[in-house]
Amino acid sequence: MTDDNGNSNSSPLDAVRRYVPLAVWAIVILVVLAIPLKIISYGFLPGDDALRHAAKAVSGKPWPEILVVGPAFQIDHNYGWHFLLRQIYLRSKCDTERLVLFAVVALFTLVSWSALPWLKRPEAWLIALAAAALTSDVPLRFLIGRPFLVTIAGLLTILFVWQVRGSSPPKWWTVLWMAPLIAICTFVHGVWYLWMLPVAAFFLAGQFRWGLTLIAGWVAGAFLGASLTGHPFESIYQALVMAYRAFGMHITQRTMVTEFQSSSGDVFALILLGGLLILRQLAGLKARPLTSNPAFWLACLAWVLSFKAARFTEDWGWPALMVLVTCDLQLLLQARFAADSFKRLALTCGLAAVTFLVITNDHNSRWTYNLTQQYLTQDNPDLNGWLPEKGGIIYSADMTIFYQTFFKNPNEDWRYILGYEPALMPDEDFQVYHKILWNFGDAKAYKPWVDKMRPQDRLVLRGGRGSLPNISQLEWEYGVSGIWIGRVPRTNAPPPAPTIPATATRETSTSSVNSAK
Using a 10 angstrom Cβ sphere, with 0-12 exposed, 13-18 middle and 19 or more buried, the burial of residue 217 is buried
**Residue 420 contacts residue 428 (beta carbons within 8 Å):** no
Question: Sign of dihedral through CA atoms 465, 44, 96, 224?
Answer: positive
Predicted local distance difference test score (pLDDT) of residue 513: 41
Mean pLDDT computed over 116-136: 95
- Nearest CA among 133, 107, 143, 165 for reference residue 327: 165
Q: What is the reported pLDDT for 137?
A: 87
If you ran DSSP here, which 8-state letter would residue 308 be given?
A: T
pLDDT at 503 over 70: no
Residue 490's pLDDT band, with cuts at 50, 70 and 90, is confident
Taking residues 175-198, report their average pLDDT.
Answer: 96
Mean pLDDT taken over the chain:
91
Question: Helix (H, G, I), strand (E, B), or coil: what is residue 183?
Answer: helix
* Residue 495 pLDDT class (50, 70, 90 cuts): low
Greater confidence, 6 or 474?
Answer: 474
Span 437-452, average pLDDT: 95
**Above 90 in pLDDT, residue 493?**
no
Give me the pLDDT at residue 498, please.
55
Query: How much is the pLDDT for 301?
Result: 97
**What is the reported pLDDT for 431?**
96
Q: For the segment 216-263, what is each residue's pLDDT rounded down to a tens digit?
A: 999 999 999 999 999 999 999 999 999 999 998 998 888 888 888 898
Share of the chain above pLDDT 90, in %: 81
How far apart CA 382 and CA 469 sit, in angstroms, is 19
What are the residues facing 461 on neighbouring strands? 484
> Taking residues 385-406, what's their average pLDDT?
96
Q: Is the pLDDT of residue 453 over 70?
A: yes
Q: What is the pLDDT of residue 152?
A: 97
Average pLDDT rounded to a whole number, residues 396-403: 96
Residue-level pLDDT at 499: 52
Average pLDDT over residues 129-141: 91
What is the C-alpha separation between 115 and 244, in angstroms, rounded?
A: 33
